[in-house]
Chain A
């Protein structure tokens, strides 16, 4: 599984050499800053454009899932719809409620957007295509994505609105709960690859970790779709219950930034899933690694879209129950299983051979099927015990009077 890579595409070294070429001696730091800045600019804009395309893709694809057309009037196949959306949102009046906590209210959208963008910094897009080769990349991702909960609470609290506050409170409870199985599923990846750096994790995936630890993949996918609060888990917004949750009071450009962060979340989540479980930039030779990466990301985005288009929203207690009774147990099981297997199969250097990974894959698939079926049946046994309804003393008041 050797992969070619497009040199010079998001390549820090070559951009640095370009700037270093015409800058005078002793200004290495400036060339470094310029290269970093231009690469960051490029990556941020790429991700934002991908997000814009994602909004169009979501609406079109969900339309097809529901046997209708999505937006189709503006541009070919409605492709210019994101531009129309952005223009519409920007030209709206920017309203801040009178009782709102103004600074917090203003900062909250940015606090939500920045962590989502920051995650991209540590992800390798190809052989030399990355912003930062952080050796604790996975830890960085876990830490940075947790900030989203704070932003959502800031938005809900600062807008001084009951629905926003309710949505933010239960949303934060959900986000904090789902971080536990997500981090545990990531730990399985770290155990097999032996590194926290995303670069080394990609290198270690001679067999994609989707095959090696399917249970971890399932738990991570479920927890990640809860983290980005989309439909099976969209307690934060819950249009039918809460208005629109924490951004009820937001309008204009602030609302646009919230929406941007929200639609960027699936893209970034897909990038993380691709890197951790689908062997990132690796693929078969004639196609460059960058293309493999983008293709896998699109596939994962489509998979999450499929879930979103199909499944209804869970109740609050069901969501918390699913996190702690379902995913938490599965994640612990996965971690235990992977730890035992790694201890058993690793060679004297502490590495895992490809054959050992295939063996792990076989065992883990069997365990996954059994454990998911057992857990589904166990969780399905529970029925909510409801009391017998007591008729109201006022129910037949008029009937007796006759």
Chain B
């Protein structure tokens, strides 16, 4: 009969309504009970300084009342927004800028006159990434021939203005160097996890070491 579907639908939703919580597709964010040691470790200090700094929370932890949010572990290949950029590896070739589908990377360089062994090296004057428009496709990372730019692993960078979302070269230099392992199998193979908080140096992130001077002399004519 016309309209019986409406009644059936009502029955379905009412069945959901009386469903016990464990059958929900979503769950309450699980809060994990945590002891004093774990709490101190989570806040990055030792137990004594934690007790001195936050006695109330420590007391709560001692009687087993302290809870922390049990977050889902972030995947190491997560494409975050702060762009771990290694100036030591960057030649200013602007491949990333050319490959960016949105054209939001702007690079200005001038010949630096240093490192003439490998040919000349450009020094970077401007390296702007407008992450307010970025879609985090990571094509710039794929395009980089020198493994100089990597996706970051952060995601909490709210600002009050769009203009503050433009990463300039200073911000890129100061950004924590915690490269995402996205499109960087060499980093993943070393079991590097950016969420552990350790920063990776420019020597650790590349596919191969920078050639030594002898190798360079073998490959390139001495000027």
Interfacial residues, chain A to chain B (CB-CB below 8 A): 61, 64-69, 72-73, 306-307, 309-311, 373, 376-377, 379-380
What 0/1 pattern do residues 22 to 36 of B give for CB contact below 8 A with A?
Answer: 011111110000000
Min Cβ gap B75→A in Å is: 23
A69-B24, A377-B2, A380-B2 as given contacts; A310 in contact with B17, CB under 8 Å: no
B21 — nearest CB in chain A belongs to which residue? A69
CA distance A376 to B29 in the complex (A): 45
CB-based contact A310/B2 at 8 Å: no
Query: What residues on A are CB-neighbors of B6 within 8 Å?
Result: 310-311
Query: What residues on B are CB-neighbors of A65 within 8 Å?
Result: 13-14, 16-17
Min Cβ gap B22→A in Å is: 11
Partner pick for A309 among B13, B24, B25, B27, CB 8 A cutoff? B13
CA distance A64 to B23 in the complex (A): 11
CB-based contact B19/A67 at 8 Å: yes
CA distance A221 to B48 in the complex (A): 65
CA distance A139 to B189 in the complex (A): 77
CA distance A310 to B12 in the complex (A): 8
Query: What residues on B are CB-neighbors of A306 within 8 Å?
Result: 10, 13-14, 17
CB-based contact A376/B17 at 8 Å: no
A66-B16, A69-B26, A73-B29 as given contacts; A310 in contact with B9, CB under 8 Å: yes
| Size class of the contact patch on chain B | 20 to 34
B111 adjacent to chain A (CB < 8 Å):
no
B73 adjacent to chain A (CB < 8 Å):
no
List 22 interface pairs A-B (beta carbons < 8 Å), by A numbering: A64-B17, A64-B19, A65-B14, A66-B13, A67-B19, A67-B24, A67-B25, A69-B21, A69-B27, A72-B28, A72-B29, A306-B10, A306-B14, A307-B10, A310-B12, A311-B6, A311-B9, A376-B1, A376-B3, A377-B2, A379-B2, A380-B3
Query: In B54-108, which residues have CB < 8 Å from any A CB?
Result: none
Query: What residues on A are CB-neighbors of B28 within 8 Å?
Result: 69, 72
Partner pick for B13 among A72, A310, A373, CB 8 A cutoff? A310
Interfacial residues, chain B to chain A (CB-CB below 8 A): 1-3, 6, 9-10, 12-14, 16-17, 19, 21, 23-29
Query: What residues on B are CB-neighbors of A309 within 8 Å?
Result: 13
Min Cβ gap B137→A in Å is: 27
CB-based contact B10/A310 at 8 Å: yes
CB-based contact A376/B26 at 8 Å: no
The 3 closest A-B pairs by CB, nearest first: A380-B2, A68-B26, A376-B3
Partner pick for A373 among B1, B10, B14, CB 8 A cutoff? B1
Query: What residues on A are CB-neighbors of B13 within 8 Å?
Result: 65-66, 306, 309-310
Min Cβ gap A219→B in Å is: 15
Min Cβ gap B60→A in Å is: 18
Having A73-B29, A311-B6, one finds 10 other A-B pairs with CB under 8 Å, namely A65-B14, A65-B17, A68-B24, A69-B24, A69-B27, A72-B29, A306-B17, A310-B10, A373-B1, A376-B2
CA distance A309 to B13 in the complex (A): 7
A73 — nearest CB in chain B belongs to which residue? B29
A378 — nearest CB in chain B belongs to which residue? B2
CB-based contact A380/B16 at 8 Å: no
CA distance A310 to B9 in the complex (A): 6
Query: What residues on A are CB-neighbors of B3 within 8 Å?
Result: 376, 380
Min Cβ gap B128→A in Å is: 26
CA distance A390 to B10 in the complex (A): 40
CA distance A66 to B19 in the complex (A): 10
A380 — nearest CB in chain B belongs to which residue? B2
Min Cβ gap A376→B in Å is: 4
Query: What residues on A are CB-neighbors of B29 within 8 Å?
Result: 72-73
B23 — nearest CB in chain A belongs to which residue? A67
CB-based contact B1/A377 at 8 Å: yes
Query: What residues on B are CB-neighbors of A373 within 8 Å?
Result: 1
CA distance A373 to B28 in the complex (A): 43
Query: What residues on A are CB-neighbors of B2 within 8 Å?
Result: 376-377, 379-380
B10 — nearest CB in chain A belongs to which residue? A310
Query: What residues on B are CB-neighbors of A73 within 8 Å?
Result: 29
